[in-house]
Amino acid sequence: MKIIDLHNDFLTELKNNEIIGYMQDNEQYLSGLFAPVWTTELNNALKKIIEKNKILKKFNEKSNYKAKICIEDMFFYKEHMLDEILKIKPFYVGMCWNYENKFCGGAYSDAKLTTKGINLIKTLENNDILIDCSHMNLKSYKKFIKITQKPIFFSHTGFSEVIDDKRNINCEQIQDVVQSKGIIGLYFVGKYISKQKVNIGDIVKNIDYFANKFGIDNLCIGSDFFGTKDLPENLKSYNNIVNLKIQLLKKGYSKNDIAQIFYKNIQNFVKNIINV
């Protein structure tokens, strides 16, 4: 069973000449891939995004699955860049990373969503680009949901009722996602999903929490591969995904349940937002 991953940072971590090889090597495991460029520590961020997008386009011309470029942290953005951003047409953008910028507050800051942030969000949404709330703090998020016209979307996060951390989201936020027909990618980052040394069982516990409280229609995988080294043993790459499938089957999840979490929910989400 193949998966669609909502968040993999390989574009940022790999050299340009390594990217296509990586995607080809994982073709047997993937039916889709969302690839953000993490800009927070980049100089000339837009130039790097354009470079990476050209590589993805080249791959997509000949591959059996498609990779969609995304942007993680819009701190670099200036108004004269809009036309280039719209040419690239990222599937989603995160307005910030973990700290504040001129647009909003990240998870570990206390800053609010600014007027500049509101204007940029409206511009992006009017051009059918989704806003990824994964790194927004609660103050910015609460203002964001009052203005957004799109489903609520988290590409990679966890659940604060399981692990209480500002990078995770609470029940009210999850309910926002469900009600808006949005989607949440569960990441595999150890410190956010387990109080002990992380293992695959902890991923299953997080899926159980969500499924028991909210069902499974709005949950998918947002691994955060290459965004962290703090990953469960035997779940460090796509060839390990079968290990998660085995554990979910042992817990009583059906093959269709697993297919929903692994790829069907994202397919349905993308289809629905295109048709809106």
Q: Convert the pLDDT of each residue in 72-90 to its tens digit.
A: 999 999 999 999 999 999 9
Percent pLDDT > 70 in the chain is 99
What confidence tens digit (pLDDT) does each residue in 108-159 have? 999 999 999 999 999 999 999 999 999 999 999 999 999 999 999 999 999 9
Distance CA 165, CA 151 (A): 24
Q: What does the pLDDT read at residue 273?
A: 83
User: What residues have CB less than 8 Å from 209, skipping those under 6 apart?
Assistant: 159, 161, 162
- Domains of the chain listed by start with CATH number: 3-275 (3.20.20.140)
- For residue 276, pLDDT over 80 is answered with no
Percent pLDDT > 90 in the chain is 98
Average pLDDT of the residues of the chain: 97
What confidence tens digit (pLDDT) does each residue in 151-208 have? 999 999 999 999 999 999 999 999 999 999 999 999 999 999 999 999 999 999 999 9
